[in-house]
Structure formats: structure tokens, C-alpha cells
Structure 1
Amino acid sequence: MRRTSPGLAMGRLALCFFSASTWLAGCGVAERPSTLNATEVGCAGCTVLKGGMVFDGTRAARATVVIEGDRVKQVVFDDVAPDGVEAGGGEVVDVAGKTVLPGLIDLHVHSLSVAGPYGYYDGDLHIEDHTKAMLRAGVTSYLDLGSSQHVIFEQRARINAGDILAPQLFAAGPLLTPTGGHPCYLGSPPGDFCVFIDSPADVDGAFEALLPRAPDFIKIVLESGGSQPLPHLSPPSAAAINQAAVSAGVRVIAHATAAADIEMALDAGVTLFAHVPDEDRISPELAQRMAAAGAVVVPTLVVQDGLSRTVHGTLTELDDPALADDVPAGVIAALQDPSLLAELRTARYRELVKAWREQGIANLKTCYQAGVTIAAGTDAGNPGVFHGLSLRREVALLVEAGVPPLEALAAATRRAADVLGRPDLGRLERGALADVLVVDGDPLADIRALGRVSRVYKSGVLLDREALALPRKTNLARAPRTGAGLGETCLAASECAPARACSPAQICAATCSVASDCAPGSACFVDGGSLAAGACVDGDGCDLFTQDCANGAACVFWGNGSTSCWYAGAGSNGQPCDASFACAPGSVCDPSNTCRALCDPRGERGGPCPGGERCVDRTAIAGLPVGTCEQSERR
């Protein structure tokens, strides 16, 4: 779940940005002659899926599904049509030997996180790659449970406006956590990914800032950190958050990793859980309390499974060339790079992962046996937990843990839709949104059939899965988006107006190649792996000498008079920088990868350099009066 530290209802005509030959594949078959007393289905312009098994979200049997526009028009099971079913019009698709299901729903996704090793970062925004992978896998709706606010809410707005072909997106935005809590650990700048709640008094302000963005859920973090203790949200704070959420008509979902976290959440009135605990065991009595409270658990067993297979080198899909259709090449390479996996493959970490996996499975069984509702989610974006692909594995893990296949499929369809409060999703019945998945075989007999995707319909439109493969580089936007001005959110470099660049924070900024191209107080950041111009990024004006950054982050200088809160490392003056070139607050990383204490060359602020070192003036580099402490012989 994280051992560190983001629907489109298109009818056929709305997809004018793709050619009809690309998205709508003709698969008509000849109908048999009319049969007396046969039940007639279909209509002009309908799609009739006939001859296969149908799982409607509740039961499975042979049936015919009729799609009209973006909705399901009819579902006729053979047991209520003893004389057969006859199509009275429309395109008839023979699905014999296949199973027709509702589109899958993933209740725990991080849209902006890649599934590489912890600490891996390639600088690219992979949200479109992840969107394609989900669509190809038949994931037609998902809940993002932690991403940069301005990016994920912008993505949701574009999807809802019909500007992007994508699964229906529900988003929580930031995580509510105590200062220094998971996933914004002490020393990290929170950005707009975390909102710190250290007492009930912080709740009103947090909601005042967050509610205008209309989050679909409020996510709280209840994690003590296990072997590495972390600040924990207090019971009064959790209760205040839930009360504020109830008043706002928004449901709270809790990240909980231990049985005590579950109890605290229940005491606060929270009954929706983003994980099954894996740090210890849930007692039968607690599971019964959860069931009585109507609790819903999203187990995310695939997180521990992905970690386990990553640390033991058994992530066998990495050897399959077809994986590149759904996972960025850099992520695949990173998961095969021993240098990036070294920390995950220590003996101690292997033992931790083994315990997490065993306890997670045991707790799922306890919850299921007590009658706790189980819904499916993956926590996609963790190591080896690939977007789209991981949901089918999560369902398979539920089955391996003893959940009957029918209920495991319901967890990823109808029950997930119920959590979202959307009765038109996750089921095949009259009036439901026509998000439909067709797979070869019968997943009730072999749950692995979920991976043998034959067809995916999004809002009634048949998707060309081959066109969505990553190497094809198909653009999901209905029309190019250009001309975004300074300060506006950008999801691609091409979206910003001329003389503007998309900054690492996904904000349109002035272009630059050197610091002097930027206004004072802004630094020029250039992506060395890109041909695009650099971006002028405004500093936040933190104080280098008082080190006034929140959450223990370090105030550093970037040049051109710019200072910003940045990740703090462990090393101080004279010690090596961290792998990310970070030092403890009050020090900066020099070109020799050594931390150097900050000093004031004017002698006006801060203390003297330690150990007889002298203050070397760096004003010309920093653009403001500051120096670094160095041995006298250094120049």
C-alpha cells in the first residue's frame, strides 16, 4: 500500500476525433430464420451480443445483451426465453464461447504514479499511458485515491466534458494526514498532494480549501508506520473529518494498515477502507463489528503480491514482449534494474513483505467469513502493480483467498459501483451505462479468462484495443488543446501557448534556456531528456536561514533569487548528499555531491561556519546573499 511517500459517456457520434473504421469494428453475422415464439430483441442501430455467457453483476447464465446508444437496452436470459432469442434489427455479434460482463471498476488507483521500484522517476506524466492500459483491460471506471490536486481534477473535468476518451474518473484529490504522516513523510514538501491535519481545528480550513474542487471522496490516512513509527491522525481529528464530510455529502475512505486503525475509524463513523490491514491480524470480533456497521473493504492484495514478486524476481510478465503494449518501456526496464531494486531485496524487506502478504490474506478471509462487504481495487502505481492489468490479478487473488468467483466478479463490478454511488455502473441491466467487457472463455470456471479480452465497449462504443497499445501513440484527446496561459494546468507540453512551457508541476510557465531568461525569483528548469524549452518555475520564497518550510522540508536556492522548499536529506555539512541530491535543512548539495552548510557572507544572518571553515560567497550563483561553508583550501 505504499511503503514510500496520481466516465466518458461518449456516443458513437461523439468520437469524431477517431475515424469510424478505427473505433467501430463491423462484426455482423447472419441471423437464422425467424423462429415461431422466439423472443425478439434489438433495434435499428443497436448492437446485439448473442450466444455467450452473461454475468450481469449478480448472476451468470447464457443470455443476450442489447446496446442502444450509450445504454444497455435489454438483457434477456435464455431461461426466460425458452423458444430462443431472435434479433429484430441492429448489428448482431456472435459471442459464443465468450463471457459478457459489465466494465470493470478499480476502487484504488494512483493515476500519476508509475509501477516502477520505489524512488524511480522518469520525469514524464504517464496519465495517458495509464488511461490506455485501463481501457485495454476493460477497466471502464476508477477511483483515484491520491494524486496532485490540480492535475487529477483537471483530468476529471476533461473526461466529464467529453474531451478525452477515458474510463469514468472519480477522484479524492489530496490525502488528509498528520504532519510527517504517510505518504508525505517528514522532510518532504507536501505540494498539493497532502493536507496536514494535526488537530480538529485544522479540519474546517482544509475543507474550505478542498470542497470547491468537488472531491468524490475524502481520503484519510491512519497508519502508525509499524517498525518505523509515524505521526498518527488523532481520534478527535478523524471524527471531525468524518463529521465535516457528512455535512458536505462526501464519503470518507480510510487508509488503514492495522486492526487498531480499523477500530478508530469505526469509532469516528468511517466504514469504507482502502486496504485490508497487513501489519497485524483482525480478530473475528472486530470483523463482526465491521460487518454490523456495514463496512466495505477494498483489500488491494495485489500490492503485497506485486511487492513479493518484485523482491523475489518472479514478476514473470516482465519477460513478455506484449507487456510493452500496456506499461511504459522505462518502467519495465526499471523493474529489471538490480541497482533500483537493491533496497527492496534485502533480507529484512523480504521478511516484511512476506508477513504483509500473509496477514493481508488472513485478514481478508476473516472479513469475508464475518460478512464484511468486499469491493475490488488495486493501488495501481506501486511496484509491479500495473494500471489496468492489476485488477484482473486482484480478482484472481480474491478467488485464491476463498472468495467464490461470482462474488469476486461482483466485487469488481456491481459492489464497486455501489461504493461509488452509481447504480448505472457495474451491471448489465436496462438503463445501465453500456460499459461492457467481453472475454474469451468463462471466468467463473477459470478466473484467468478476465485476461483474455476480446472486446471493450465504453459508453456503447466499441474500442479498438490495438490502437490503444502504447507503441501506437494514439492521442486520446478529442481535439488538440493549445493556448493555455501562465499558471494554467497542462497535461502535455503542447498545451501551453507560444513562449510557454509545461513545468514539472504541470503548470504553464515562461520558457527559458538559462536563469536570466526568467523573472527574478524564478528558476529555469530544463529537462535534459527533452528537446522542449525549459520552464521558469517560481520559488516559494522560503527563508534559507530560518528554514521555515513546513513538514521539515529543506529550503534551498535554485538561482536567480529563487528559493523553494525541497526534500530534506539526512546529510549535513561535510557529509554525502542523498541519492536525490538532498541534504538536511540548512545545507545544500554541492557539485562534488557533498552537503555544505549555508552561511551569510555578509555576516548578518545565521551563525558562523563550523570547525574553522570559511563562508564562500555564492551570491552570484544564487541571485541573493548566501554562501556555503567550506574548508579554507577549497575554491
Structure 2
Amino acid sequence: MGKIAVSASAPETLRAIRTDRLFDGERAYGPSTVLLSGPTVEDVLPGHGPLPAHIPVSDHGPGSCLLPGLIDPHTHLCLNAGSAPFAHLERSDDAAVLGDAGQAAARALRAGITTVRDLGDRSFLGLTLEHKGNGAQLPEILAAGPPLTSIGGHCHSMGGAAEGQDALRAGVRERSRRGCHTVKVMASGGMLTSGSRPFLPQFTATELRSVVVESHRHGLLAAAHAHDDRSILMAVRAGFDSVEHADFFTADGVAPNPATIAAMAERGTYACITLGERPGAPPLPDSISRRLPAIAALTRLMHEEGVPLLAGSDAGIGPSKPHDVLPHTLAAFVAAGIRPAQALHIATLRAATALRLPRKGRIAPGLHADLLAVAGDPTQDIRALSNVLAVYRGGIVVHRAS
């Protein structure tokens, strides 16, 4: 942290935030003052010492905590979190889907989720929303476009079906040309597409490798949806940056493979675990919900074995997964045995690192002022994340508790 003294001749654009506690993405501190200059953090000062009179101060009061805005690396803005989100998507035109997606993104922002990676849309509407977004009024959106999938495979209705290496590479090039951040591939089947089997691969190892090589050649991240052990291992060996879900499904349960987990840890492959539901909401389908205790135990095991975890919400896939559910995902991580401060690190600095966002995920001079103020101490009680006091996007207050 910087020194408490601030020059009386400091630029008039400076603003200050005072908080009882600060979590900077790595460490927790006591009373702190964060100086903002436009959309960036100018300095972080210990304590609540005097400031020049011309610097306006926001004080979030006793018991407050300031932390970086949360980052959700796995969400679906075009899915409406209803009882039949894919059916709703299929019968809605693009204008209606775009309107729903904008409301979903705004809901995420009000919960302190200042950056989202959209890992599956239709008609590249995630990019449309990203370009249409009114700056601070939405989170930063990192779009992947329609996921690449097999013919008739998981989420094929989103329009990303491809067969063979040439078609897959062409799909990557299209996503690069359009400006996507990530290429998403359905390496295995999934739970929510009729006829798709989540415990079987959809592509060969050679096909998956071709997607990774082409994605990296164009500077894009490559994310593999994979539920079963064989698909997870093929994705790891192919060089995917992250494996989404990575929950080792079998036809009737969950069966972690220690060798695959060791390979993920050795290669540093991110496992984006999509635990967490909104309390009181209708549960996920039984085929998923009955596996949740085993997935929680798997999450702890992978953490203990050194696999770098990410916390993804998978928001939009049902009523228990609204687009502000990420704090409950983190609560599920804590319930699985991960310390609250580590869960916060996973959703801030680690997520920023995984998504190649060097100016996000920390509160430090020169970085983006995407911030979340809450009542309570989330480094001790993760439930404090639900007590939102204010959300800052680029230094601007976009939501304040009434």
C-alpha cells in the first residue's frame, strides 16, 4: 500500500473510497482508502487519514469490505434461466434474445459481477451485446459465440455444429474474424440436449488438438466442455486452456480418475467447476442434482491435488441458475472445503489471470476500478457477498443498495 499522505495539489479528478476492510484479490487488509482517477485505481492507502478537501469521499461505513469486482468465466446470457431455457431460446427471435441477454447481464452486474465470459450463445449475440453495451451499464462481456459441437450434438441448436478438422478450424477462424475472446468446444455430450450423452466424447483427440492449435494461432483461448474422464483427458492432452465442468460423469454417477487429475495439475489446466444454486429455487434435473454431493467432494480433491480451479456459474440453464448466482457458486466452494479467502481469490485474480485480463482481478494502482463493496467480511463468511452496498464499473457507481 502507498503512504497515507496525499498532496493538496493532487488532480481534481481524484475520488476516494473508504472501507473498514479491503481484499485486494490476494490479501486482506484492515481500514483502507482507495483513490480512483477516472476508470482506474490511482493508489491504495492504509487507514482513513485526512485527504485534501477537494477529493470527494465515499465511505461505506463500519463493517464494510471492498474487493475487486467478481469475474464469472462461464455463463450463458442468451439462456433465460427459466424452466425450459433452450425451448425459450429456439422460439425467440434474435431481438428478443438480445433483450433477455441485456437484462441478464445487468442482473449480474448488480450482484457485483463486473466481468462475464459468455460460453455459448446463438447468432453471436454475445458479441452484439458486447458491442452494444453502454460502457459502465453492463459488465465487461467476453464472448465465445455458438459453441463448436458435433452434428446433432450438445447445444447444436445454437448453430455451431461442425464435422471434421477442416470444419472445426474454419469455425475457429470465423470466431477470430468476428472478434470472439474464446473458442468453446463441446468435447463431450451434455445433460440438457435430447439424445446427447454427457459421459461420451463428441470429437477425436486429433480434432480437439486441431481446435487448440488454430485457436492459439489466432490468439484466442480454447475452452472445452467435458463431463466424462476420456473427454477431460483428451482436452487436457490437446492443450485446452480450461476444461469446463470437469466433473468425471459416468452413466450413473461421478468417478474421478486420479491420473487425469494429476495431468491437469501438472499442465496447469484450469478446471472451471459449475457448482452452486440459488437457495429456494426449483432444483436442477435429478440427473444433475443427485451428482452434486460427489461433485463437491471432487472440487475439494482437485483443489488439494493442485488443479487450478475456476468458479463458473453456468447461469441461465435453469431457475436455480439465475445470472446473479455466482456468489452461491463461491458458497458451494466454501461448503466443499475451500477457505473463503481462497474462493474470493479464485473469483477475482485467478479468474482474471485465466482469462488474460491483466488489469482486472486486483485492487492496485493502474488497474481497472471494477469494484464491489459489501457489508461484512467475505474472507471469513462468504455469505457477505450477498450484502451488496455498491458496485463500481470503471470507477462509476452503477448500483448502490437502497
Q: TM-score range by the shorter chain?
A: 0.7 to 0.9
Change (3 A) 1:437 1:271: same
What is the Cα-based RMSD across aligned positions, in Å? Answer: 2.5
Q: Report deviation, 1:139.
A: 0.9
The answer on 1:85 being equivalent to 2:57 is no
Query: Relative contact order, CA 8 A, sep 6+: which one is greater?
Result: 2
1:440, CA displacement in angstroms?
A: 0.5
Which residue of structure 1 aligns with residue 206 of structure 2?
236
Change in 2 beyond 3 A, CA 1:150/1:202? closer
The question of 1:107 aligning with 2:73 is answered yes
CA apart distance, 1:391: 0.6
Report the counterpart of residue 118 of structure 2 in structure 1.
144
CA contact (8 A) 1:283 1:366 kept: no
Corresponding residue to 2:258 among 279, 284, 292: 284
Q: Deviations over 1:16-35 (max 9, x none)?
A: xxxxxxxxxxxxxxxxxxxx
Q: Which residue of 2 aligns with 1:375?
A: 310
* 3-state SS of 1:362 partner: helix
Select 1:131's aligned residue among 93, 105, 112: 105
CA distance in 1, matches of 2:190, 2:109: 35
2:42 corresponds to 1:73: yes
Any conservation in 2 of the 1:275–1:298 contact (CA below 8 Å)?
yes
Q: CA deviation at 1:138?
A: 0.9
Name the CA distance, whole Å, in 2 between partners of 1:374 and 1:235: 23
Alignment pair present for 1:219 and 2:184? yes
- Give 1:94 deviation, angstroms: 2.2
Confirm or deny: 8 A CA contact 1:434 1:458 kept in the other structure.
Answer: yes
The one-letter code of the counterpart of 1:274 is E
Aligned with 1:46 (options 14, 27, 38) = 14
Tell me which residue corresponds to 1:172: 144
8 Å Cα contact 1:379-1:385 kept in structure 2: no
Whether 2:266 is the aligned partner of 1:266: answer no
Whether the aligned pair in 2 keeps the contact of 1:97 and 1:440 (CA below 8 Å) is yes
- The 1:356–1:428 alpha-carbon spacing in structure 2 relative to 1, beyond 3 Å, is same
Q: CA deviation at 1:44?
A: 2.8
1:376/1:43 CA distance change after superposition, 3 Å? farther
* Residues 420-459 of structure 1 aligned to structure 2 (within 5 Å): 420-459=355-394
**Contact (CA 8 Å) 1:278, 1:359: kept in 2 or not?**
no
Secondary structure of 2:325 counterpart: helix
Aligned residue number for residue 24 of structure 2: 56
AA partner of residue 35 (structure 2): V
Alignment partner, residue 404 of structure 1: 339
2:160 aligned to which of 186, 195, 198 = 195
AA partner of residue 70 (structure 2): L
C-alpha contact (below 8 Å) 2:19/2:66 kept by paired residues: no
| Mapped partners of 1:231, 1:292: distance in 2 | 23
| TM alignment of 1:288-307, pairs within 5 A | 288-302=262-276, 305=277
Q: Given the superposition, is the C-alpha separation of residues 408 and 71 from structure 1 closer, same or farther in structure 2, using an over 3 Å criterion?
A: same
- Quote the Cα distance in structure 2 between the aligned partners of 1:463 and 1:287: 40
Distance, in Å, in 2 between the alignment partners of 1:354 and 1:176 is 26
SS in 2 for 1:195: coil
Q: Secondary structure at the match of 1:412?
A: helix
SS at match of 2:303: helix
Select between 201-210 and 259-268 the one with higher mean Cα deviation.
201-210
Equivalent in the alignment of 1:357: 292
Bigger CA radius of gyration: 1
CA separation in 1, counterparts of 2:266 and 2:201? 30
- Counterpart check, 1:209 vs 2:174: yes
8 A Cα contact 1:271 1:293, kept in partner: no
2:175–2:183 Cα contact (<8 Å) kept: no
Q: 1:105 to 1:231 in 2, by over 3 A?
A: closer
Residue aligned with 2:225, SS: strand
Q: CA deviation at 1:51?
A: 4.2
User: Is contact 2:136–2:396 with CA below 8 Å preserved after alignment?
Assistant: no
Cα 1:466–1:368 shift into 2, 3 Å: closer
d(CA) in 2 for partners of 1:205 and 1:457? 39
Contact 1:276–1:364 under 8 Å retained in 2 = no
Query: Is the 1:278–1:356 Cα contact (8 Å) retained in structure 2?
Result: no
Shifted more, 54-63 versus 115-124: the winner is: 115-124
| 1:371-520 map, 5 Å | 371-465=306-400
What per-residue deviation string (whole Å, max 9, x for no partner) do you get for residues 302-341 of structure 1?
2xx46xxxxxxxx52x6xxxxxxxxxxxxxxxx6xxxxx9
**SS state of the match for residue 148, structure 2?**
strand
Q: Secondary structure at the match of 1:240?
A: helix
Number of corresponding residues: 378
Unaligned runs of 5+ in 1: 1-36, 79-83, 185-189, 307-314, 319-334, 336-340, 468-635
Shift of 1:396: 0.6
TM-score (norm 1): 0.56
1:364, CA displacement in angstroms? 1.0
Percent identity of paired positions between Structure 1 and Structure 2: 28
**2:56 aligned partner, one-letter code:** E
Q: TM-score scaled to structure 2, two decimals?
A: 0.87
Q: Which amino acid aligns with 2:50?
A: E
Are 2:80 and 2:316, in contact at CA under 8 Å, matched by a contact in 1?
Answer: yes
Q: How has the CA–CA distance of structure 1 residues 458 and 269 changed in structure 2, closer, same or farther, with 3 Å as cutoff?
A: same
Aligned pair in 2 of structure 1 residues 52, 297: CA closer, same or farther (>3 Å)? same
Give the stretch that moved more between structures: 252-261 or 121-130. 121-130
Distance 2:350 2:320 in 1: 22
Q: Distance in 1 between matches of 2:121 and 2:190?
A: 21
Q: Supply the AA of the counterpart residue of 1:197.
A: A
Provide the rounded CA distance (Å) in 1 between the counterparts of 2:19 and 2:174.
Answer: 52
- Tell me the distance in 2 between the aligned counterparts of 1:281 and 1:271: 23
Residue 99 of structure 1: CA displacement?
Answer: 0.2
Paired AA for residue 76 in structure 1: L
* Aligned residues of 2:136 and 2:398 also touching (Cα < 8 A): no
User: Is 1:252 the counterpart of 2:216 in the alignment?
Assistant: no
What is the CA-CA distance between 1:261 and the residue it aligns to?
A: 1.4
Code of the aligned partner of 1:70 = P
Q: Which residue does 1:321 correspond to in 2?
A: none
3-state secondary structure, aligned to 1:364: helix
Contact 2:388 / 2:401 at 8 angstroms: preserved in 1?
Answer: no
What are the Cα deviations for residues 560-583 of structure 1, in whole angstroms up to 9, with x where unaligned? xxxxxxxxxxxxxxxxxxxxxxxx
Instruction: Provide the rounded CA distance (Å) in 2 between the counterparts of 1:65 and 1:152.
Output: 33
- Report the 3-state secondary structure (helix = DSSP H, G, I; strand = E; otherwise coil) of the residue aligned with 1:238: helix
1:205-227 CA-partner distances (Å, limit 9, x unpaired): 32343321021000011224589
Contact 1:138–1:388 (CA under 8 A) maintained in structure 2: no
| Residues 1:387 and 1:465: Cα distance change in structure 2 (over 3 Å) | farther
Q: Which residue does the alignment assign to 1:154?
A: 128
